[in-house]
Amino acid sequence: MNRSDDSGTTVRIELHGLDAATVAVAPGTTVQVSYTDDGRAALVAPDPRSGRSGPPPVRDGRRTAGPPAPAPPAPRSRPPHGPAPNVVSAPQQFNTHDLFVDLRPIVDQALFCKVEGMNFAGSVKLKAAAAMVEAAEIAGQLNPWSIIVESSSGNLGVALAMVSANRGYRFICVTDDRCNPQTRRLMETYGAEVHVISTPHPETGLLGARLEHLKDLCDRNPDTVWLNQYENPANAGAHYAATAPAIARAFPGLEVLFVGAGTCGTLMGNARWFKQHRPDVRVVAIDVEGSVSFGGPASPRHIPGLGMGMTPPALDRSLVDDVVVVPETDTVRMCQRLAMRGFLFGGSTGTVVAGAARWLARHATPTTPAVTLAPDQGERYLDTVYSPAWREEHYGSAGQLSRPHRLPDAGAAVPPPPSEE
């Protein structure tokens, strides 16, 4: 092996004619070379996110986990115009941090929605999945034989199925019959096993039955690793590290943040960051009717994502300034209103936008700068939230918009977003 340059950040490495690549490393960093069973050489550069290095694990003589190496060679020179290309070698490396939808024409409030579904997993849960798997790898809890198991209403399952496929782990998702059929198929396409629970536990409901099944899986197989999104600090940690700072950067004049509550990972990560760095921002939790998270009575819910059948272990109520509880009828009606403006979001986006609009109408002025989050996109809900027959079956006429949608007046003046004021 020849190092042709060790003074800068780029090192050219030749592997006795077997292979060659250019990698970017910090001066003084050790770069390892590993050989796969078929004799191919692979560079194993330190993982820039975790600082770890070392050969990827091998299972059945095949590399199954770890970063694919070597990285593609960087373009020799930047094009004269336009941003540098976004090149990834793992789907979890890409996410959008700066996309917001201006909802003023729809809710008549200065409400902006951070879009979290524009990534390869299609939802906000990519952040939690990637962070929890990485934390488990760093803690040495995962090996090439590990079987990741998790309880999920769908989106975390898809994200974990994708990350597990990329890192080479088996994955079993325990879900229930509220999980969309398309979501189940997605997980299976990534190679995951999906266990669907349809009989609720007599006291703890479907979630309790899911957790019992999961614990049974863990008891029976020592290779299983339960990431436990309900209590894993990496779930909220991902939002503390990325989501909240991105919102604060985009909206320096922010006054109110609305966050939907499922496991409360998104809520707690954002709330903790804002309480520490911007305590003037009010944090309002949005929950769905029938959820017991904030002490309400349990009743049937049909839309996955928000709400819990038990008190979320991660919830620290002292970080939340107020709570809005939204009936599912408001959810599906708001989803229709958004779709009629060309924004097809998932069910929980309808919930948080409906709840935020209601809270702002009571407690703020039409120009109070506010942000909420859209956890996923709407395609996974075509057979449920966006199906007139499904809405009729579950909500009757209360699930349909009563007034026809009205387009905005052409040229109607819309004030600039808060960050531009």
Ligand X SMILES: Cc1ncc(COP(=O)(O)O)c(C=O)c1O
Nearest distance from C-beta of residue 396 to ligand X, angstroms: 24
Nearest distance from C-beta of residue 154 to ligand X, angstroms: 6
**Binding-site size, ligand X (CB under 6 A):** 19
Is 307 a residue that touches ligand X (CB under 6 A)? Answer: no
- SS3 string, the chain, reads CEECCCCCCEEEEECCCCCEEEEECCCCCCCEEEECCCCCEEEECCCCCCCCCCCCCEECCEECCCCCCCCCCCCCCCCCCCCCCCCCCCHHHCCCCCCEEECHHHHCCCEEEEECCCCCCCECHHHHHHHHHHHHHHCCCCCCCCEEEEECCCHHHHHHHHHHHHHCCEEEEEEECCCCHHHHHHHHHCCCEEEEECCCECCCHHHHHHHHHHHHHHHHCCCEEECCCCCCHHHHHHHHHHHHHHHHHHCCCCCEEEEECCCCHHHHHHHHHHHHHCCCCEEEEEEECCCCCCCCCCCCCCCCCCCCCCCCCCCCHHHCCEEEEECHHHHHHHHHHHHHCCCCECHHHHHHHHHHHHHHHHHCCCCCCEEEEECEECHHHCCCCCCHHHHHHHHHHHHCCCCCCCCCCCCCCCCCCHHHC
Q: Which is nearer to ligand X, 318 or 397 (CB)?
A: 318
Residue 129 to residue 229: CA distance in whole angstroms = 9
Nearest distance from C-beta of residue 302 to ligand X, angstroms: 13
Query: Applying CB under 6 A, which part among 99-107, 135-143, 255-263, 393-401 lies near ligand X?
Result: 255-263
Residue 71 to residue 55: CA distance in whole angstroms = 15
Nearest distance from C-beta of residue 331 to ligand X, angstroms: 11
Is 305 a residue that touches ligand X (CB under 6 A)? Answer: yes
Applying CB under 6 A, among 319, 376, 385, 418 the residue interacting with ligand X is 376
Nearest distance from C-beta of residue 105 to ligand X, angstroms: 24
Is 263 a residue that touches ligand X (CB under 6 A)? Answer: yes
Nearest distance from C-beta of residue 64 to ligand X, angstroms: 27
Nearest distance from C-beta of residue 12 to ligand X, angstroms: 44
Q: Which is nearer to ligand X, 146 or 153 (CB)?
A: 153
Q: Which is nearer to ligand X, 66 or 235 (CB)?
A: 235
Positions 142 through 171 that interact with ligand X (CB under 6 A)? 153, 155-156
Is 348 a residue that touches ligand X (CB under 6 A)? Answer: yes
Task: Return the ∠ at Cα 231 (arms to 310 and 199), rounded to 5°.
Answer: 40
Applying CB under 6 A, among 186, 306, 334, 335 the residue interacting with ligand X is 306
Positions 84 through 123 that interact with ligand X (CB under 6 A)? 123
Applying CB under 6 A, among 260, 290, 309, 378 the residue interacting with ligand X is 260
Is 125 a residue that touches ligand X (CB under 6 A)? Answer: yes
Q: Which is nearer to ligand X, 267 or 370 (CB)?
A: 267
Is 380 a residue that touches ligand X (CB under 6 A)? Answer: no
Nearest distance from C-beta of residue 234 to ligand X, angstroms: 12
Q: Which is nearer to ligand X, 14 or 316 (CB)?
A: 316
Applying CB under 6 A, among 264, 288, 334, 364 the residue interacting with ligand X is 264
Is 293 a residue that touches ligand X (CB under 6 A)? Answer: no
Positions 24 through 83 that interact with ligand X (CB under 6 A)? none
Do β-strands 20-24 and 282-288 pair in parallel, antiparallel, or remain unpaired? unpaired
Look up residue 119 and give its amino acid.
N
Is 205 a residue that touches ligand X (CB under 6 A)? Answer: no
Residue numbers of the site for ligand X (CB under 6 A)? 123, 125, 153, 155-156, 260-267, 305-306, 346, 348, 375-376
